[in-house]
């Protein structure tokens, strides 16, 4: 039996190799089905029957914003240790990290866990052949609900993480990013910093408690893309969550509210000495949440400002005209809370002040005046023309679907995306940037500038 499964797993790998970038783009729409199970889990499905594959993502409100400052890194450590073993239960024997890895390899499937600022996620990919899929779902359900959290493995991994943390202090880019995040977010959990001290305070018991408190059926949002029907998807999600404790979501205590990111009250400049060939500069402030109605205007505007690579205004002014930096960019990172707006560049230490001032002037002018007609049309053409590349595989489509699920976006979000981009005007962009950004109150972090 195991040999037969391995043979089908090899076939799965070949299928993935030939079909990973395939998606049926001739469809006029991407119909998203949504329902809530009796368990409280919210399910989102896009049926994609062309390939006998299934991609699943389970998201829980259990990112690093749910971790106290003194244990920064707990969510990420918990996600990492989830792949290191499952506990015995009933007739199911325990599996260590090697046995678990072999089990997934035998199925030709993959499973992983990760933690970000807002959410804790599990990802499953498998063929939909019933025998393979059933075993993959069972193994995933065990890993979701019954991780063993081996203490000896955590001691080993904690030492490795500590060494990586120390090594990061030797890189100017990491130093700049750490100081920028800590300062721009202040006391908000988005700015909590992993340190040697917080790492030392994370125990296996803390991981078990964090997992038990946050990985629940009521807290689950499940996105599926692949060759399954709605009834099949509903049954599959129920099996994936079946080993978690049953809760009455009507009376279960919801996750505690997290305060919003505080705006910056005044400009702040941090210059950190560092012996490096390049100075690293980050400039910005808290931005906006993902649900903000200005999202599309900001998306188009930022493409023009610094998100469009070599066609952006920052690149033109900082790199092309003055040769002050090889690359320069701007980005927004909206989440459940106001993720940061950032302008980033690297330059020679003796040019850091000039490059920063030029970038600041470009930003201030853009906020005051908005884009030109030509810039606006070019940005729309590029964004709309590139949209099919955002959904040209099941895995990419899953990322977009989980975005809809996590942020409570309209179910027709992907169908209307290009129309939303097309209707953005220069006045919309100017107004949106004026509401969101205050160039005179931004934080600037420079690491490695000349005295």
Q: Indicate whether 301 and 219 sit together in one domain.
A: no
**Residue 248, pLDDT score:** 85
Is residue 252 within 8 A of residue 39, CB to CB? The reply is no
For the four alpha carbons of 237, 238, 242 and 247, in that order, the dihedral sign comes to: positive
Indicate whether 263 belongs to any domain.
Answer: no
Indicate if 441 and 352 belong to the same structural domain: yes
Using 50, 70 and 90 to split pLDDT, how confident is the model at 7? Answer: low
In the β-sheet with 279-288, what is the strand arrangement from edge to edge? 268-272, 443-447, 279-288, 339-347, 328-332
Q: What is the token pair recorded at 205?
A: 């018991």
Q: Does residue 291 sit within a domain? A: yes
Count: domains in the chain: 2
Within 8 A by CB and 6+ apart from 386, the residues are none
Integer-rounded Cα Rg, in Å, for the chain is: 24
Statement to judge: residues 389 and 424 lie in one domain: yes
Residues 363 and 430 reside in one and the same domain: yes
Burial class for 316, CB neighbours closer than 10 Å (0-12, 13-18, 19+) = middle
**Residue 24 falls within a domain, yes or no?**
yes
- In 161-243, DSSP assigns E strands to 220-226
Average pLDDT over residues 63-74: 96
Question: According to the model, what pLDDT value does residue 8 have?
Answer: 56
Q: Are residues 285 and 229 in the same domain?
A: no
Bridge partners, 271 (sequence order): 446
Residue with tokens 């699920």: 405
pLDDT at 6 over 70: no
Nearest to 137 by CA among 209, 211, 68, 233: 233
End residue of a domain, out of 241, 260, 295 = 241
Q: How far is CA 313 from the centre of its chain?
A: 27
Residues 41 and 156 in one domain: yes
Q: What residues are paired with 297 via a beta bridge?
A: none
Please indicate, yes or no, whether residues 294 and 209 belong to a single structural domain of this protein: no
Residues 193, 280, single domain; the answer is no
Give me the helix-helix angle, 394-407 and 413-422, nearest 10°.
80
Closest by alpha carbon to 84, among 167, 168, 160, 198?
A: 160
> What residue numbers bound the domain in which 416 lies?
268-447
What the block records as the tokens of 55 is 């991609």
Find the Cα–Cα–Cα–Cα dihedral 290, 292, 293, 296, rounded to 10°. -40
CB 74 within 8 A of CB 202: yes
Residue of 127, 177, 137 lying closest to 5 (CA atoms) = 127
Neighbours of 67 (CB within 10 A): 24
Task: Indicate if 234 and 350 belong to the same structural domain.
Answer: no
Confidence label for 29 from pLDDT (cuts 50, 70 and 90): confident
DSSP class of residue 56 equals E
Q: What percent of the chain has pLDDT over 70?
A: 94
pLDDT band at 5 (very low <50, low <70, confident <90, very high): low
**Cα separation of 301 and 186, whole Å?**
27
The answer on 280 and 210 residing in a single domain is no
CATH assignment at residue 304: 3.30.830.10
pLDDT greater than 50 at residue 20:
no
Boundary-marking domain end, from 241, 257, 278: 241
Residue 316 and residue 373 in one domain: yes
Task: Classify residue 248: in a domain, yes or no.
Answer: no
The answer to whether residues 163 and 312 belong to one domain is no
The verdict on residue 27 lying in a domain is yes
Beta strands in 263-338 (DSSP E): 268-272, 279-288, 328-332
Which pLDDT does position 253 carry in this prediction?
83
- Taking only the tens place, the pLDDT of each residue in 98-139 is 999 999 999 999 999 999 999 999 999 999 999 999 999 999
Give the span between the Cα atoms of 331 and 148, in whole angstroms.
39
């Amino acid at each position: 039996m195991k040999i037969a499964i391995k043979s089908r797993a090899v076939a799965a790998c070949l299928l993935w190799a030939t079909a990973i970038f395939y998606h049926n783009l001739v469809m006029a729409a991407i119909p998203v089905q949504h329902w809530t199970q009796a368990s409280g889990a919210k399910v989102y499905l896009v049926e994609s029957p062309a390939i006998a594959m299934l991609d699943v993502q389970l998201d829980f409100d259990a990112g690093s914003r749910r971790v106290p400052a003194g244990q920064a890194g707990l969510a990420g450590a918990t996600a990492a240790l989830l792949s290191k073993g499952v506990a015995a239960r009933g007739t199911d024997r325990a599996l260590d990290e090697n046995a678990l890895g072999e089990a997934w390899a035998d199925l030709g499937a993959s499973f992983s866990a990760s933690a970000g600022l807002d959410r804790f996620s599990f990802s499953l990919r498998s063929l939909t052949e019933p025998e393979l899929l059933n075993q993959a779902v069972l193994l995933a359900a065990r890993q979701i609900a019954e991780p063993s959290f081996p203490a000896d493995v955590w001691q080993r991994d904690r030492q490795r993480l500590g060494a990586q943390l120390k090594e990061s202090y030797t890189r100017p880019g990491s130093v700049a990013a750490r100081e920028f995040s800590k300062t721009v977010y202040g006391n908000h959990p988005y700015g909590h910093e992993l340190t040697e001290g917080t790492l030392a305070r994370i125990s296996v018991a803390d991981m078990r408690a964090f997992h038990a408190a946050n990985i629940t059926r009521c807290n689950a949002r499940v996105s599926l893309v692949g060759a399954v029907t709605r009834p099949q998807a509903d049954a599959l999600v129920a099996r994936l969550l079946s080993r978690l404790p049953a809760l009455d979501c009507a009376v279960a205590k919801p996750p505690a509210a997290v305060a919003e990111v505080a705006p910056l009250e005044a400009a702040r400049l941090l210059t950190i000495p560092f012996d490096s060939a390049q100075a690293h500069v980050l400039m910005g402030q808290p931005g906006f949440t993902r649900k903000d109605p200005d999202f599309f205007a900001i998306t188009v505007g930022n493409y023009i400002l610094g998100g469009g690579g070599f066609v952006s205004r920052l690149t033109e002014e900082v790199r092309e005209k003055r040769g002050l930096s090889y690359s320069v960019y701007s980005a927004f990172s909206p989440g459940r809370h106001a993720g940061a707006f950032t302008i980033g560049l690297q330059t020679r230490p003796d040019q850091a002040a000039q490059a920063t001032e030029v970038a600041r002037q470009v930003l201030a002018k853009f906020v005051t005046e908005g884009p030109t007609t030509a810039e606006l049309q070019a940005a729309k053409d590029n964004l709309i023309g590139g949209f099919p590349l955002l959904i040209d595989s099941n895995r990419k489509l899953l990322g977009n679907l989980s975005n809809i699920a996590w942020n409570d976006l309209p179910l027709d979000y992907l169908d209307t995306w290009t129309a939303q981009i097309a209707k953005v005007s220069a006045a919309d962009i100017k107004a949106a940037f004026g509401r969101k950004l205050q160039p005179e109150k931004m934080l600037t972090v420079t690491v490695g500038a000349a005295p």
